[in-house]
Amino acid sequence: MHIKFRIAKSFNQMSRIDIGSILLTLLSMSLPASLTSSVAGAENKKQKIENSSESTDLGSADLLIGIDGFYRIGRWTGIRHPNGKPIRSVKTRDGDGVEVTFNQASDRKTNEWSYALPGSEAAPLIVATKDGDDISTRFPTEGPPSGGPAMIPLEMPWIVAIGNTLGLDQLGVNELLDRDASIAVSNPKQPNSLPDSSLGYDGVDLIVLGGSSGKILANLSDPQKTAIKDWVYTGGKLLLTLGASTPELFQSASWLKEILGIDKVEITSFDPSAIETYTSSQTPLKPFDGIRLPSDRGNILLLGRTVRRENTPIAVEYNIGLGRVTAICADLDSPMFTQWPERMDLLTQITGDMLLPKTDLPIRKNRSTAYNDLAGQLRSSLDRFEIKNRYSFSLLSLLILAFLAAIGPLDYLLVNRLIGKPMLGWLSFPITAIGLSALLAYEARPLPLQASLNAGPKKPMSASNENPLPDFVKQQWNRLEVVDIDTTIQLGVSRSIHYLYSHDAILSDLSVTDNRLLEIINEQTKQSITSAFGYPGQSFGGIQIAIEDSRLPEYEIQFKEAESSILGMPLASRSSKGFFNKTIFQPRLMQTKSVNRRPGSELLQGELVNPLDVDILDGMLIYRNWTYLLPTRLPAGSRIASLDSLRQKNFRWQLSRQKALKSSTKTSAWNPADNSNIERISEMILFHEAAGGSRYTNLLHGPLSALDLSHVLSEDRCILFGRVAEAATSINIASENQTETPGKRQTYLRVILPVVDNSKQR
């Protein structure tokens, strides 16, 4: 008999068992197969009727969700009214199934687009406009990219192609096998289909622009242009095809020249032999026109020659802020390249492994953890609280068996046989039940503060540990903070993951604000967004079919231009919830100085200056695959006269704890089930690809992949990396009896410094 179980599990809150659901499930198992199937069929029919009624709501079919109907769960999604009416609020459910309303910012220049965070596939969606018109529908379900609006799974790349798609939408298509495309490609046809904030591109992996993009780019509004720029600066990836149509493209979108740092556009004719060799093509190409790309910076992917036999790059990858821009000196949408069989091979090799088919990890099936991503391992580490008593399942089983024995055989032998008064059972049974309940309630109390801190790490790093705290604190707050600063474009991005545990139920306003570190280095805050963290799926180690949770009240997320707050945040007793905060700011630098590269070598030389007014602890200067181990404390604004005096080490060996033993090496294997070492997990999240990626960890890196800056370790960039004693953020809970909340904290700082090769400048 085939039975389907409906399991509802909360990921950031402690799961609670519904006795009624268990009884109904046991009852369904005892029914005959025919009756069970008929009940299931009636339920499915009812569900289809409900879904059909919801999908036919007024205006829901024309509601623009995401980009061309594509979106990801757990990522910011743009929502636009079909008539362009300003939206007042968006109501949906978060990853725990709790209703949440996103109140849109009233101080934005344009309100045609609103933004929300879908917590699950097909989550309910209610859009309220300022005119009082409500649209009730649901987010699209997962489906093939060619089938229209759909949820894009995390393992499928999502590309936004403005103009020609370059055949990317046909990658993986096989009509004989009825196989759909392996890549989701959004191809907007109108300018109003593009979001007006960088939040709308949160789940996008790549944006493709070329000569055919000029018509749409020319009609974009200023917020829409700024949205693409901010997305690239804060970690996005852009692919540009800059051929003979580049002057018209730059005329339509002059901000592209600003991103690339090109002052003068020079068109030249290229010899195609370099591209033919690069792709092992047997089909010859004719000479083609393209612009001359700057060769004094960036990572040259393909070096070619002009028809005059002058060496010049054809494809270059530039680090722009925290993001990347890949430029190709050819119009790949021209008829010559459209008919060239190896065009897709060229794109595949230029963009890296994004367009390559994904293969399952060999050891993933044998792993004992429920999650398959580093985000799940980090959640498992942060969602551990020392003030909460922990008991093994075996101990709880023994208590239940002891209770059953006390009210069963022991009660019978003692009351009936030994004492001989069966009526005493009316007293022994409630006394035993009340006594055991009182014992369990007493043991479920929060641990004393000092005992909880002593039970934690040997060196608890918490901003609140500096102040004396009372013993009756019933909340704990764990967090990971990462602050990235790019000195080349004066950009700072702070991202923090918070987990809050409360012994008692709370319903209060919550906000994440700047603490000591950001107060020192933050010149001006441009944007600050706080939202719930985590969603259903293997990435975080759980499943969730029924997403609606009616046990907790609705809460709101209030948007403003520079900050956001959570209003009426509910937290059940003895439960926890995760939050994510992202702050974009202009950094305050004491001094900026580049690092010199040794000519003809991959090593650095000269001096190093700490450009910030904060001390860096256990720091490293990372360049390509080399790391320079800094002193234990690098004071604010201090200077190291010569990098030659520092100890050098292979960076991959440093991450994998690899050691040389005589004629062999020994590498410390990564344990996906280890959730006790937050320092190691943080390092792997911040430099996953540099450590070998999934080949080393046997875990994916999806939801938190934006924290990985391995790509920045190029020829013209290095990273000053280390811990910081000061906290970057502070959590404020509006409560009458609010006390300082203890907890574990890890705060990391990464400063991107330019690397200059003086031999190239002579």
pLDDT by residue (tens digit) across 372-381? 999 999 999 9
pLDDT by residue (tens digit) across 675-734? 889 999 999 999 999 999 999 999 999 999 999 999 999 989 999 999 999 999 998 887
Q: Where are the domains of the chain?
A: 155-358, 393-443, 595-722+748-761
Residue 18: the pLDDT is: 39
Q: Is the pLDDT of residue 39 over 70?
A: no
Higher local confidence (pLDDT), 145 or 742? 145
Q: 529: phi > 0 → left, psi -120 to 50 → alpha, else beta; which? A: beta
The helix (H) or strand (E) run that includes residue 407 is helix 393-407
Strand bridging mode 150-151 / 70-71? parallel
Residue 297: the pLDDT is: 85
Residue range 240-265: average pLDDT? Answer: 91
Question: What is the pLDDT of the chain when averaged over all its residues?
Answer: 83
Contact 506, 733 (CB under 8 A): yes
Residue 45, judged by CB atoms within 10 A of its CB (0-12, 13-18, 19+), counts as exposed
First to last CA, the chain: 79
Residue 560: the pLDDT is: 76
Q: Is the pLDDT of residue 460 over 70?
A: no
Contact 409, 526 (CB under 8 A): no
Q: 554: phi > 0 → left, psi -120 to 50 → alpha, else beta; which? A: beta
Main-chain dihedrals φ then ψ at residue 650, nearest 5 degrees: -65, 125
For 442, the 3-state DSSP assignment is helix
Higher local confidence (pLDDT), 472 or 294? 294
Residue 666: the pLDDT is: 79
Q: Which amino acid is it at 504?
A: D
* CA 27 to centroid of chain Cα atoms: 41
Cα gap 493→527, rounded to integer Å: 10
263-267, 275-279, 442-446, 587-591: the lowest-pLDDT one: 442-446
Cα gap 287→740, rounded to integer Å: 69
Token representation of residue 694: 């999934």
Q: Is the pLDDT of residue 444 over 50?
A: yes
Cα gap 712→739, rounded to integer Å: 41
Residue 464 to residues 415, 460, 477, 562, 730: CA-CA distances in angstroms? 55, 10, 10, 26, 10
Cα gap 530→581, rounded to integer Å: 4
The helix (H) or strand (E) run that includes residue 478 is strand 475-486
Residue 364: the pLDDT is: 53
Residue 327: the pLDDT is: 95
Sign of the four-CA dihedral 345, 154, 236, 210: positive
Higher local confidence (pLDDT), 348 or 133? 348
366: confidence class by pLDDT, cuts 50, 70, 90: low
Residue range 416-439: average pLDDT? Answer: 80
Strands (E), 701-760: 717-723, 729-733, 745-756
Contact 521, 483 (CB under 8 A): yes
47: confidence class by pLDDT, cuts 50, 70, 90: very low
Cα gap 481→492, rounded to integer Å: 13
* Nearest by Cα to 754 from 490, 520, 481, 483: 490
What percent of the chain lies above the pLDDT cut of 90? 54
What percent of the chain lies above the pLDDT cut of 70? 83
Residue range 186-196: average pLDDT? Answer: 92
The domain defined by 155-358 carries CATH number 3.40.91: no
Residue 623 to residues 321, 581, 620: CA-CA distances in angstroms? 16, 29, 10
pLDDT by residue (tens digit) across 559-579? 876 778 899 999 988 889 999
* Nearest by Cα to 535 from 219, 203, 222, 233: 203
Residue 559: the pLDDT is: 82
Residue 601: the pLDDT is: 83
Stated pTM of the model: 0.84
Higher local confidence (pLDDT), 137 or 453? 137
Token representation of residue 702: 């999806």
User: Could you give the count of Cα atoms lying within 13 Å of 371 in the half-sphere of its Cβ?
Assistant: 27
Token representation of residue 388: 């909460």
Cα gap 344→230, rounded to integer Å: 29
Q: Is the pLDDT of residue 56 over 50?
A: no
Angle between helices 678-686 and 374-382 (to 10 degrees): 150
Cα gap 621→598, rounded to integer Å: 15
Length of the chain: 762
For 481, the 3-state DSSP assignment is strand
